[in-house]
Structure 1
């Protein structure tokens, strides 16, 4: 097993410098920092594994990597995870990834150095090696990192089906679904799959518009929603992949002279607390956010204890009908 002395020799620096890099202390040049991390990677050096091997000590800290908490769904999810962790005697170390792969990688490295007992990941950029190589128990929430990392997700196919069936039952004949970027392999892609399948079975016109990651970061969907009405002026039903996007659809309808729900019926997704405060109150697919938080903490603690966990845990959703349909 490699030692800190081996890392120092390979990187061409002192042991004290390696220690400062590991603990993020003192003035260290970027070139030196990169040299140390490169040496650690080549030597497969993991400083916290020594502490873990001596007495199986626990830090009682969980790392949590999420997209921007400006999105209320992730803010509510973080709150539910923190509450569940606290009730099990754990604290959180929260990291905001902004869907940046380099940021994700640096956070995983930081969490490993700071001796967290495990990581919950709700953000994913498509890269998997740094998660697999972390040698830490990991559970993903509302995203699929890889087939061998446990995931806790809502039943997104059921949610897409409930939303689409509801719009069809209300008489909609020209439907739009606003999804995220389907290339990212998010569990929410199943909403688009259910939408397409049911629309094809019903023989109605249907269209998918993909919102970008930048729109999610900025919480600004005005461009894509405006494009929907310019390209499909006779749209009569919209299934949005988040309540925030659905609220943007309601606002744009008002600006363009469409009446909700008389001209256009709108269904959101998430069931965030503000959805009932929108005007008009939003019909939405409600995810059980407290249950998501509790289950991913339970799964992670089971994994930390060295026990097997389910590869995929799927939680049910339900339709909340309000005034936009």
Structure 2
């Protein structure tokens, strides 16, 4: 049976170099990687994953942590696309994924602790960024490696993360509406403890401020009846509003439906984020920001499984793009 030492001898490198290639160590040059891989192919060498796992004292499994608000997660195609991207990269690198969920924060903390202590999972992806998140604290207390999907609220230069530039995206959608002639633009959000919503609001505020126009930002509820009441109040308070920005397509579709009985749907332009199936089934179809969630999932997985020193920190910003549809009218 071909051994790792046989591969090292044929490639004229050390056995430890072959091991580093198998573990995707970025310190190994591309030329050396190719030389080792050619030797493996010539010798038909198949890595013993179980032996490698025992030596490393952990399983080649990546923990994927979903928000405790599971109702939002499982009905949102954004998270499905993220996991699709994560699974794609894990499959290429012989990793498994284990999803951590919980009905509340305490249950989620217990699940993560069990995964780390019993299943020896040492690498995790946090699929959200939230202010004062106790899940982030438990990861740090257990000494686990993690990558965040979304810019951290604090110490963003000291934590590895993958995200879009949501401040820029918020500015871009506001500027897009301004170019269509809208001057009274509303911004609707539900939870500013979520970094993605806070950043998109900040981008909107900057664009309105630079244009010398008043800002109209409102917190809304997910409950349909409450949402309709809130929108009635908002439009009575600010009847000059001609366009609304919402923080994701699910929220935008709910707003669109709530505007119908108020006889406002045909008078209000709308723009949103994520470019999901909800944007395409809306009537009119929603202009929305493509954030490329599969790509986000792939890059956050790559960052999570790469073999690097504890002091190495990296982050990556995925570009966004506005997809124009029929929900925005020129004023």
Band of TM-score, shorter chain: 0.7 to 0.9
Output one character per residue of 1:80-139: Cα deviation in whole Å (capped at 9) or x when no partner: 2223222322221112356x4323322321221222241100244623421211222100
Matches within 5 A, 1:99-118: 100-113=104-117, 114-118=119-123
CA RMSD of aligned residues (A): 2.7
Aligned partner of 1:135 in structure 2 is 143
Structure 1 gap ranges (5+):
1-50
Structure 1 residues 92 and 228: CA distance shift in structure 2, 3 A: farther
Measured after TM superposition, the shift of residue 253 of structure 1 is 2.4
Is 1:202 the counterpart of 2:211? The answer is yes
Q: Distance in 2 between matches of 1:165 and 1:209?
A: 19
Measured after TM superposition, the shift of residue 199 of structure 1 is 0.7
Structure 1 residues 53 and 291: CA distance shift in structure 2, 3 A: closer
Counterpart pick for 2:162 among 152, 165, 178: 152
TM-score with structure 1 setting the length: 0.73
Measured after TM superposition, the shift of residue 231 of structure 1 is 3.2
Q: Is the 8 A contact 1:144 1:187 kept in 2?
A: no
SS at match of 2:239: coil
SS at match of 2:215: strand
Measured after TM superposition, the shift of residue 141 of structure 1 is 0.3
Aligned partner of 2:319 in structure 1 is 316
Measured after TM superposition, the shift of residue 309 of structure 1 is 4.6
Aligned partner of 1:9 in structure 2 is none
Structure 1 residues 83 and 231: CA distance shift in structure 2, 3 A: farther
Structure 1 residues 279 and 255: CA distance shift in structure 2, 3 A: same
Structure 2 gap ranges (5+):
1-50, 68-72
Output one character per residue of 1:182-228: Cα deviation in whole Å (capped at 9) or x when no partner: 2x26143111111011112212232112346xx39x9x955544543
Aligned partner of 2:79 in structure 1 is 74
Is 1:191 the counterpart of 2:194? The answer is no
SS at match of 1:55: helix
Measured after TM superposition, the shift of residue 146 of structure 1 is 4.5
Counting matched residue pairs gives 266
Measured after TM superposition, the shift of residue 259 of structure 1 is 4.1
Q: Is the 8 A contact 1:175 1:236 kept in 2?
A: yes
SS at match of 1:256: coil
Counterpart pick for 1:172 among 182, 188, 211: 182
Q: Distance in 2 between matches of 1:104 and 1:176?
A: 36
Structure 1 residues 201 and 139: CA distance shift in structure 2, 3 A: same
Q: Is the 8 A contact 1:158 1:316 kept in 2?
A: no
Measured after TM superposition, the shift of residue 70 of structure 1 is 1.8
Q: Is the 8 A contact 2:250 2:278 kept in 1?
A: no
SS at match of 2:65: strand
Aligned partner of 2:101 in structure 1 is 96
Q: Is the 8 A contact 2:89 2:301 kept in 1?
A: yes
Q: Is the 8 A contact 2:53 2:59 kept in 1?
A: no
Q: Distance in 1 between matches of 2:63 and 2:100?
A: 7
Q: Is the 8 A contact 2:253 2:278 kept in 1?
A: no
SS at match of 1:173: coil
Measured after TM superposition, the shift of residue 71 of structure 1 is 2.2
Counterpart pick for 2:289 among 282, 285, 289: 285
TM-score with structure 2 setting the length: 0.72
Structure 1 residues 192 and 125: CA distance shift in structure 2, 3 A: closer
